[in-house]
Amino acid sequence: MNNHLDYNNFGQRTVLTIYAHADDEVLPAAGTLSLMSKAGWNVLCLILTDGSLSSSSIKGTRHQEADAAGKIIGANYEFHALEECNFSTQAVIKVAEEAIGRWHPDLIITHAPQPEKYGHRDHEVCAIAVSNVATRKNIPLWYSAPPVFLRDFEPNFFVDITSVIQEKVAAIGCYESEANKAFMQLDAILILSRFWARELGHKDGYFEAFEISRQWVDASFFTAIANSNKQVIKQDWLGI
């Protein structure tokens, strides 16, 4: 399996996100996943739990909401039924390894590691397990920004999602069963996206932030940059 990112050939690439709960994938990364889907990536979202502890008492609600969000951002979902607040790293490792064997992802995105005193226990267990698998399988790995707690999260990669911010808002809005949570509110979504823009010195626009844990590129990446720069220089010279 060829796991490096080929920036000349997005159409044959697969991104696999692995998150503890349905909605964890859209809060930090809906815009980025939408952009990847539009660029031809195969976007797969793996959800570890069945949402039995969600705000809705109707079984399967979170999965239905996730499917609706997936239609907006161009993602397909795979659901598992690990017990919320009680699953182990070994259980996640098994699920992740099986998924990797089926989908052969070129990139994995998951929770940023956050100590339990700052974040959600399930997020931390998921982050540890997925990091273990990605390292052993030699697969590029990005951590997405926590929706609330930013302690110890040091982003080094930012994606301009201004063009798809409405899609991000709509995807998050699909999770009506979780709408009462503060970080699901429209103002919270926009403020955090604007915060990352300001971190980059942008007065306008919306961004998502990631911490690249593992990444590599091949020679074609540098060729693409060189060709892109030549095109920009040519356009400037021609006054285009």
pLDDT number for residue 239:
52
Predicted local confidence at residue 3, as pLDDT: 39
- For the stretch 88-103, pLDDT in tens is 999 999 999 999 999 9
Token pair belonging to 226? 């060189």
* Distance between CA atoms of residues 94 and 111, nearest Å: 17
* Residue bearing the bigger pLDDT, 9 or 186: 186
Higher pLDDT, 137 or 235: 137
The rounded percent of the chain whose pLDDT value lies above 90 is 66
Distances in Å between the Cα of 222 and the Cα atoms of 8, 14, 142 are: 10, 21, 21
User: Rounded to an integer, what distance in angstroms lies between the CA atom of residue 54 and that of residue 65?
Assistant: 12
- Of the candidates 104, 107, 102, 46, the residue with the CA atom closest to the CA atom of residue 78: 46
Whole-angstrom distance, CA of residue 172 vs CA of residue 154: 24
Q: In sequence order, which residues have a C-beta less than 8 Å from that of residue 130 and are 6 or more positions away?
A: 18, 92, 96, 108, 110, 111, 141
Q: What is the largest CA-CA distance in the chain?
A: 63
**pLDDT of the residue at 140:** 96
**Average pLDDT value for residue range 162-191:** 93
